[in-house]
């Protein structure tokens, strides 16, 4: 409740229009259908059951309203939730730790990115997936730079954003991406959200 009002204030200050607020999962679905917002910001834990009602509602919104983006906020680093959400379609989808709201710029950036059709995955979730041990780990064949690029791709960053972050040209980023995909035996994906899905599916395999 407290957090919801805080988030509304943040969004309005950043120039977003908040069309509705919902107190439980059912209310959320109803209002999403009524208002067809560009973005729904959803807490995993919501009434009535206070477990993962919010996540289920977010999946339902993605299914029924493909034009509405969802940004799911979670109390814990649960890759399971993030993967479930992204597996249902990485486009217009995001998963962030709730604490990130405190970093206003990062939060607003995430809302903007999912609203523009992109994907957002919390860096801690990506770190857990990258840290996963595998037999004959193909990730061992990557250079440090390529691992960094892979992590940023998994977070849902575009080539342009990658180039800015790494202070290199987009052309250089493309070369890294091609090399990573070929080392991991993945097919290159044209769109960013397909690329996120391919990378995450790979990272979550045993």
Partner 1 sequence: MTDSPFQAIIDEQAALRRVAVLVASDPDPQKVFECVCEEVGIVLGVEGTNLARFEADGTQTVLAGWSVNGTPIFPVGTGVPLEGSAAVAKVSRSGRPERVDDYSDLDGELVEMIRAAGIASSVAAPIKVAGRLWGAIVATTGTPNSYPDGTEQRLVSFTKLVAHALANADAREQLATSRARIVEAADAERRRIERNLHDGAQQRLVSLALILREAEAKLKKDPGDARLLLTGAREELTLAIDELRELARGIHPAILTDRGLRVAVEALARRAPMPVRLLDVPAVRLSQPVEEAAYYLVAEALTNAARHARADEVTVRVQQSDGQLAVEVADDGVGGGELRNGSGLCGLRDRFEALGGTLKVDSPQGDGTRVRGELPLLRGL
What is residue 9's DSSP assignment?
H
What is the spatial distance between Cα 69 and Cα 92, in angstroms, rounded to a whole number? 4
**Least distance CB 202 / partner 1 (angstroms):** 13
Cα–Cα dist 156/174, whole Å: 15
| CA pair distance 6, 22, nearest whole angstrom | 14
Name the packing angle between helices 144-154 and 192-203 (round to 10°). Answer: 110
Q: How far is the CB of 116 from partner 1 (least distance, A)?
A: 28
Q: Which is nearer to partner 1, 75 or 178 (CB)?
A: 75
- Site residues, partner 1 (CB under 8 A): 45, 51-52, 75-81, 97, 99, 102, 128-129, 131-135, 204, 206
Write out the two tokens for 21: 């607020």
In the complex, the smallest distance separating the C-beta of residue 78 from partner 1, rounded to whole angstroms, is 5
| Secondary structure class of 77 (helix, strand, coil) | coil
CB of 77 to partner 1, least distance (A): 8
Nearer to partner 1, 38 or 99 (CB): 99
How would you classify the pairing of strands 119-121 and 69-74? unpaired
C-beta of 128 vs 179, nearer to partner 1: 128
Closest CB to partner 1 among 7 and 173? 7
Strand ranges in the chain using DSSP code E only, listed in sequence order: 39-43, 69-74, 93-97, 119-121
Closer residue to partner 1 (CB): 4 or 76 = 76
Least distance CB 52 / partner 1 (angstroms):
4
């Amino acid at each position: 409740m407290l957090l919801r009002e805080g988030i509304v204030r943040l969004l309005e200050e950043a120039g977003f229009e908040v069309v509705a607020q919902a107190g439980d999962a059912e209310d959320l679905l109803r209002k999403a259908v009524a208002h067809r917002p560009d973005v729904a910001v959803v807490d995993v834990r919501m009434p009535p059951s206070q477990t993962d009602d919010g996540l289920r509602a977010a999946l339902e919104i993605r299914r029924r309203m493909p034009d509405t983006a969802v940004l799911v906020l979670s109390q814990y680093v649960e890759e399971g939730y993030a993967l479930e959400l992204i597996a249902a379609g990485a486009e217009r989808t995001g998963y962030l730790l709730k604490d990130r709201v405190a970093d206003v710029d990062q939060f607003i950036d995430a809302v903007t990115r999912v609203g523009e059709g992109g994907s957002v995955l919390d860096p801690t979730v990506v770190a857990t997936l990258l840290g996963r041990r595998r037999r004959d780990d193909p990730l061992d064949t990557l250079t440090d730079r390529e691992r960094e690029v892979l992590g940023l791709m998994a977070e849902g960053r575009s080539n342009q954003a990658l180039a800015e972050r790494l202070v290199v040209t987009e052309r250089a980023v493309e070369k890294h991406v091609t090399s990573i995909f070929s080392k991991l035996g993945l097919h290159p994906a044209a769109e960013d959200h397909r690329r996120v899905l391919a990378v995450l599916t790979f990272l979550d395999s045993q």
